[in-house]
């Protein structure tokens, strides 16, 4: 029957994605997919950890050695990220409408860097990828070009330890301040600025006082270093709090609204200490704006 015939040969989104994968393999076009898992596969007669990718319903695998030419200790931080890649190989399944592919991010970064050096102009804004972090430095990739950013240049907030606030895979918007293109005699060099893209939230610190209790939204939860809470009436003004005693990060959620008590304000040093209250939800007390709260307290 005509209806049955057209249904059998319907082109699905995965089939369209598979056509894009094969075309990208032929042309070298850079694609983007989300990493959804870590598996172990046999790659070139040896077993290797790979990131499993989902490209619009087509699965791909990115070997750890091809995630980055940076010295990777692990690829867990690359999970649940949008990653760019070129297609190294397509594997066709004769019994299915779509196959699988092998992805190469390191090669994609090289191609992006080549284009960056040709086309980039001062004043442009890019999303820098955090490929490494230590206490004092963010190691960034700007369109495939590596650059280091000292903690004093990251933003208006004081960072005693950058590892408390950033992890591999985070994105930081930056503005290209200067560029020296590579030549036969020298390597290329760039400088970037993050602060100029940010509003200085510390101008609002006069609206807060020590021992005051305020409402904030959890913007980041670090299992070892506590929570980063943005005060709701001052976007960008973020305070770090430890987890209350006898609790862990399991009872808190990113994006959740909580209450904090500001213990100390150091306006000159641009530092602030706060204590997070434990939300004890109760049917007796319900606030439509801030959620349902019971007793708040901490030691």
HSE (side-chain half, CA atoms, 13 Å) at 283: 0
**Rounded-to-integer distance, Cα 234 and Cα 91, Å:** 52
Strand 238-242, strand 271-276: pairing:
parallel
Q: What is the pTM of this model?
A: 0.70
Q: What is the model's pLDDT at position 22?
A: 97
Q: Given its phi and psi angles, is residue 48 left (phi above 0), alpha (psi -120 to 50 degrees) or beta?
A: beta
- The tokens for 3 are 């209806």
* pLDDT tens-place values along the chain, 299 residues long: 555 545 566 889 999 999 999 999 999 999 999 999 999 998 777 899 999 999 999 999 999 999 998 777 789 989 999 999 999 999 998 888 999 999 999 999 999 999 999 999 999 999 999 999 999 999 999 999 999 999 989 988 778 789 988 988 899 999 999 999 999 889 999 999 998 898 888 888 999 999 999 999 998 888 777 888 999 988 888 888 888 876 665 678 888 899 999 999 998 888 888 999 876 543 333 444 434 333 333 32
**Rounded-to-integer distance, Cα 196 and Cα 164, Å:** 23
Judge contact between 61 and 137, C-beta under 8 A. no
Q: What is the model's pLDDT at position 296?
A: 32
Q: What is the model's pLDDT at position 200?
A: 87
| Distances in whole angstroms, Cα of residue 32 to Cα of each of 53, 60, 80 | 9, 11, 12
**Rounded-to-integer distance, Cα 227 and Cα 248, Å:** 10
Q: What is the model's pLDDT at position 207?
A: 92
Residue in 104, 22, 118, 102 with CA at minimum distance from that of residue 68: 104
**Rounded-to-integer distance, Cα 29 and Cα 101, Å:** 14
């Amino acid at each position: 029957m005509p209806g049955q015939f057209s249904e059998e040969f319907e082109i699905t989104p995965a089939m369209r994605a598979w056509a894009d994968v094969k075309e990208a393999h032929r042309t070298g076009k850079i694609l983007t997919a989300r990493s959804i898992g870590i598996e172990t596969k046999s790659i070139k007669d040896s077993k290797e950890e790979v990131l499993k990718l989902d490209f619009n319903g087509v699965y791909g695998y990115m070997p750890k050695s091809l995630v980055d030419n940076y010295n990777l200790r692990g690829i867990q931080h690359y999970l649940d990220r949008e990653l760019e890649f070129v297609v190294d190989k397509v594997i066709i399944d004769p019994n299915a409408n779509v196959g699988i592919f092998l992805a190469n991010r390191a090669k994609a970064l090289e191609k992006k860097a080549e284009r960056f050096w040709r086309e980039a102009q001062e004043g442009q804004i890019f999303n820098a990828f955090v490929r490494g972090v230590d206490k004092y430095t963010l190691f960034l990739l700007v369109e495939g070009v590596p650059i280091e950013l000292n903690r004093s240049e990251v933003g208006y907030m004081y960072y005693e330890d950058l590892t408390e606030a950033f992890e591999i895979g985070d994105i930081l918007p930056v503005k290209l301040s200067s560029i020296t293109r590579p030549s036969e005699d020298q390597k290329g060099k760039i400088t970037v600025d993050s602060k100029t893209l940010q509003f200085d939230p510390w101008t609002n610190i006069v609206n807060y006082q020590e021992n005051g209790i305020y409402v904030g939204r959890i913007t980041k939860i670090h299992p070892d270093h506590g929570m980063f809470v943005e005060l709701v009436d001052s976007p960008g003004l973020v305070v770090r709090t430890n987890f209350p005693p006898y609790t862990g990060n399991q009872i808190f959620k990113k994006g959740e609204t909580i209450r904090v008590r500001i213990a100390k304000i150091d306006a000159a040093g641009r530092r602030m200490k706060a204590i997070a209250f434990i939300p004890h939800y109760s049917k007796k007390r319900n606030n439509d704006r801030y959620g349902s709260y019971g007793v708040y307290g901490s030691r």
